Structure 1
Amino acid sequence: MTISASMTLTFTLERYEGRGREQVRRGRDGRAQLIVEQGGELDVNNELMKVVEHGYLEVVRFLVEECNADINAKNDGGLTALMMAIGEGRLDVARYLVKECGSDANAKANGDFTALVYAVFSGRLDVVRFLAEDCGADVNVNNKYAGTALMLAAEEGYLDVVRFLIKDCGANVDVKANNGDTALMRAAGGGRLDVVLFLIKDAGADVNLKDNNGDTALMRATGGGDLDVVRFLIKDCVADIDVKDHNGGTALMRAAGGGHLDVVRFLIKDCCADVNVKDDNGGTALMRAARGVYLNVVGFLFKDCGAGVNVKDDNGDTALMRAAEGGHLDVVRFLIKDSDADVNTKNNDGVSAIRIAADHGHTDIVGGLTPFVLPQRQMPTSDTWKDLSNVSTAESLSSYIPPTEVEVGAFYEQGNFGGNFQAKWLDADAVAKLFIPDASHGTLEQEVCLWQQLRHPNVLKLYGICQAGPSVNLFVCEYASLGSLADYVKEYYDDEKPPLIWKYLYEAALGLEYLHERGVVHGDLRCRNILVGSDGLAKLSNFGLAGFTSKSSSFSNVVWPMRWQAPEVLEGNAPSRESDVYSLGMCILEAESGEVPWCRDNAARTRETKMKWNGSGHGIATYDINDPNSPEPDLYFFDPDHSSFVQSTRELVLQMCRQDPHERPSLASIACKLECLAMEESLGSSQPELVPAFTFDDYLTGE
């Protein structure tokens, strides 16, 4: 029902704020008028939804009795006025709607939610009691997604509500939801020990019931990691510790996969759980812990329990492969250095751990594994150069460097795992990088040809290729003595803001522009791959990955570095100049904030957020920096602590990270803006008269 603009509604209230086209004005007599602006209409059903949420009973009464608002009308989510009142704990409003107006207490919203479900969510026993005892709400209704009211109360840990539903309302304790859940499973998974105790001891819940996946209450508890609940179920209730779900998973695997070391230790030491038992796919508890980046659990399973580190699942994967896939450097380091994992073994698809890491864009793990994939793990030394008369592979390349011209020094580690060889080439400082076929998506010849043609001060220079032994090829390249931009930023952000980040980002943009002019897409741009040489210049490195995207079908299996990559690449499209622009925007974010983009989100949430977030304020944008209700990704340039970043570069990054690749600015315009920022940085203040003649806006408009 609607009311025309010619009508004025008057009612008594203590406080009410209209929204949209409605306004509220308070008169001298303490009464208020809800005024509908000229030419507008008041939807009384919609207005009813608003006022019940705020608990304005007199307004509710007025809209229902004087304006004939429909008490059982539903909003877009399927909620009635009663559901909204119940959800906010407005018991007086709810009582009026039911007792005086006859509102349907068992009406269902989307997902089959009832008013009782919303009452349980609020945890208000008085509201639950009112619906069950005074309104005849069905306590055993099984909602499509939420299950029963008892399940919800058990999951949330509302013991008084659980007790009331069972003792006073006769709720069925072992009834199952659509997915097979029971109230006990929900309570056990949430670590609600008091509820678990009541359900088993007072209500007789069956501890060994299974859901549709074969889970028991014990599996839920081990997955949730609450040791007290786990101990009670096993010691007091004799829950079956060896029961398996429909995939062959055990309680121990659940605990290991969740990183719950205390539960893992209890299951093995106190309950004699089999540490090497396999699920239906051949997976073990160690594999699950390795995939889940739980180093403490991995260490305990191997060192204290003798878990088999080189055991393979049905696909031939090992714990090392699972850790490499997940990008978990600490776990990979432990498996290689402390547990003697076999880095050279391959799975049923002929893929090794280093190839898996390369396909997922984990260059730090590739670098860490590289020294261990050499034949018999023998590092090249000066003795290696003495007998190379039968070596011919590298000699066929135009960039071949004879071993006599290269002096290979010590292998130096980076972050105590992985690294390169110190080297000298004709008295010039150099770095010798091992070429590992498994870690490359191109042949040795392709990588050399790509890299050798590039000559730019902001691109890491390749001197040549040298063969140090059979199947041991070394890239001899420029030595970037000052490390990566990521290292530089991290070092300074411990104390202060880095002084030269805009200079280095500007130079990185110049290097990227050079690559694009020569048809080379970087594809893996991040601060770790922006190095700083002894000449003080930023230099792009590790750009060979995307250089072969148009030539190799193997890229269909590549999982690109998620936090820096553009959404279209994550959807399966090949890296492009436009996706490089997006990644450069992420580098700006990383350098300015001192943190990896979206570092507080897991991979799944990062992917979801990146697919929705758009820098532009139009088109398919789903994020608005001025809208507090918009789903905000974890982007640090909105942090007021980085005020200079907000003022100077937010708009630039937003433009670079638009969802539509064709709406992103050109590298020329980006370089112009970064040059201005670098000049301001070097001067310590903004001086417009020193800004280049062509401005950022000029570049954007093509003038």
Structure 2
Amino acid sequence: MLRVLRTKDLVHTIAIFQDGLHPDVLPPTRLLRRVRLRRGSYERQFAAVHDCLEPWLARHGTSSLGLFPASLHRHLFYYAVVYGNLDVLVFLDAAAPVRLSAADWALVVDVGLLDVLGFFLDRHYDGGDEHLMAHAIETGALAAVQCIFAHGILPAKDALNEACTNGHADVVRFLHGHGLGAWDPNTLMFVLVHGHLEVLRFLLDAGLGDFDASAAFGFHVSHLEMAAKCGHLDVVQYLAARDRRHVPQAFLEAARSGHAAIVQFLNDGESVDVPAAAKEAVVHGHSDVVAFLVQAHGAALDLHALATLAASRKRRAVHALLLQHAPEATL
């Protein structure tokens, strides 16, 4: 006999014909649904999921992941990548392989779990190519570079230069040792500018220090001068120990650029031009450099002339400093 169903009865009748979730999967699925798939915070977001899912999988096995809705497979993918769960990846691969975007591949490299990276490369997922290698090189992930190379993927022609510019000495050694990537001598300039000491050390030892500054800038500038200008004390110390011929020019460059620690290091009292360096420091308003030079070489400096120069250039802090030693020079 037909009858009108009340709301409660209607809902119950409809629910009978719906595919619901098995009660056992409710706790992990609730946690998975709370995760917002935004790259950069996966480890933090999946922490609670891991605390729940790890014992759940130990109890139910990965075959029970089939009870999870397909809409959460992407969440499971990121969980498996971040926590290195190959069993979950095997399940997803069999159920419906996930398509990896460039960002997904980058995440795999950045997480740094080689068995996960190897899993996707072994199965030839789309995107495992030289772009993946480029990301590994750019971020200095040596183990990933080696793994990708072992799977027959070669880096781009500029790989060696890219690794040098980003300061990844271990990657540079690997690429150079395997004859990978073409060398551009201009790369040495970027290594000096960025102060990548270990890369510089390797390049010079390997005979790759042939940067032609005259061709690049139209005038000669030594490696030591460039390092001094950019303020890299450790690089300056290394280069000066190899060759002190350019110390006078580097001393002036450091004073001009305001790097007091380098000025102090290069101050050998013999080859350097202290008055010229003091003038450069005054003109450019580097009080700390002026203070050091006055303290170390006050007797050799014309403090009155320097104070007058500071006043003419409106370098008030420098002028005030010099007035302490040459009070007759006023604004």
Higher relative contact order (CA 8 A, sep 6+): 2
Q: CA deviation at 1:70?
A: 4.5
8 Å contact from structure 1 (residues 166, 172) kept in 2? yes
Who is 2:328 aligned against? 473
Cα deviation for residue 329 of structure 1 reads 4.4
Question: 1:246 & 1:70 partners in 2: Cα distance?
Answer: 60
Contact 1:89 1:119 in 2 (8 A): no
Partner of 1:328: 260
How has the CA–CA distance of structure 1 residues 61 and 324 changed in structure 2, closer, same or farther, with 3 Å as cutoff?
Answer: farther
1:299-310 aligned within 5 A: 301=240, 305-307=244-246, 309=248
Aligned residue in 1 for 2:180:
205
Instruction: Render the CA deviation track for 1:197-223: whole Å, top value 9, x for unaligned.
Output: 5x456x5425x433xx94279969x94
Distance 1:355 1:295 in 2: 26
Measured against aligned partners, the alpha-carbon deviations of 1:425-452 in whole angstroms (never above 9, x if no partner) come to: xxxxxxxxx98023347879x99xxx9x
| Residues 18-37 of structure 1: pairs in structure 2 closer than 5 A | 33=27
C-alpha deviation, 1:162, in angstroms:
4.3
Q: Which runs of 5+ in 1 are unaligned?
A: 1-6, 13-31, 37-41, 73-79, 235-239, 249-278, 312-317, 381-433, 452-464, 476-543, 545-703
Please tell me whether residue 365 in structure 1 is matched to residue 250 in structure 2: no
What corresponds to 1:340 in structure 2?
Answer: 272
Aligned position for 2:283: 355
Change (3 A) 1:157 1:355: same
Question: Could you say which residue in structure 1 is the equivalent of 2:187?
Answer: 215
Change beyond 3 A, Cα 1:329–1:233:
closer
Instruction: Provide closer, same or farther for how the CA distance between residues 64 and 113 of structure 1 changes in structure 2, counting only shifts above 3 A.
Output: same
Q: Does 1:101 align with 2:83?
A: no
Percent of aligned pairs with the same residue?
Answer: 15
- Report if aligned partners of 1:293, 1:323 keep a CA contact under 8 Å in 2: no
The answer as to 2:84 corresponding to 1:89 is yes
Q: Of residues 111, 121, 130 in structure 2, which corresponds to 1:132?
A: 121
Q: Calculate the TM-score normalised by the size of structure 1.
A: 0.33
| CA deviation after TM superposition for structure 1 residue 131, in Å | 0.5
Aligned pairs for 1:544-563 (under 5 A) are: none
What is the CA-CA distance between 1:96 and the residue it aligns to? 2.1
Greater helix percent: which structure? 2
**What CA RMSD, in Å, does the superposition of the two structures yield over aligned residues?**
5.4
Residue of 187, 190, 196 corresponding to 2:168: 190
Residues in 2 aligned to 1:365 and 1:133: alpha-carbon distance in whole angstroms:
58
Preserved CA contact (<8 Å) 1:45 1:69: no
| Structure-to-structure mapping, 1:239-388, within 5 angstroms | 240-244=208-212, 248=216, 280=218, 282-291=220-229, 292=231, 294=233, 297=236, 301=240, 305-307=244-246, 309=248, 311=249, 319-329=251-261, 331-332=263-264, 334-335=266-267, 337-344=269-276, 352-356=280-284, 358=285, 362-370=286-294, 377=301
Give the residue type in structure 2 aligned to 1:88.
Y
The TM-score normalised by the length of structure 2 is 0.61
Is residue 184–residue 196 contact of structure 1 (8 Å, CA) maintained in 2?
no
**Structure 1 residue aligned with 2:15:** none
Q: Is the 8 A contact 1:8 1:35 kept in 2?
A: no
How big is the shift at 1:326? 2.9
Give the whole-Å Cα distance in 1 for the aligned partners of 2:122 and 2:154: 17
User: What CA deviation, in whole Å up to 9, does each residue of 1:121-146 have, x standing for no partner?
Assistant: 34433222210122534321516xx7
Task: List runs of 5+ in structure 2 lacking aligned partners.
Answer: 1-19
The whole-number CA distance in structure 2 between the counterparts of 1:217 and 1:308 is 18
Q: 1:298 to 1:184 in 2, by over 3 A?
A: closer
Q: Is 2:92–2:98's contact at 8 Å kept on the other side of the alignment? A: yes
- The whole-number CA distance in structure 2 between the counterparts of 1:232 and 1:299 is 12
- Pair 86,183 (structure 1): closer, same or farther in 2 beyond 3 Å: farther
Deviation, 1:67, is 4.3
Which deviations, in whole Å up to 9, do the C-alpha atoms of 1:275-314 show, x marking residues without a partner?
A: xxxx5465333323433252894697499633261x4xxx
Tell whether the 8 Å contact from 2:197 to 2:235 is kept in structure 1 after alignment: no
- Equivalence for 1:171: 153
Task: Tell me which residue corresponds to 2:159.
Answer: 181
CA contact (8 A) 1:214 1:244 kept: yes
Q: Distance in 2 between matches of 1:290 and 1:282?
A: 15
Matching residue within 289, 307, 328 for 1:436: 307
SS in 1 for 2:328: strand
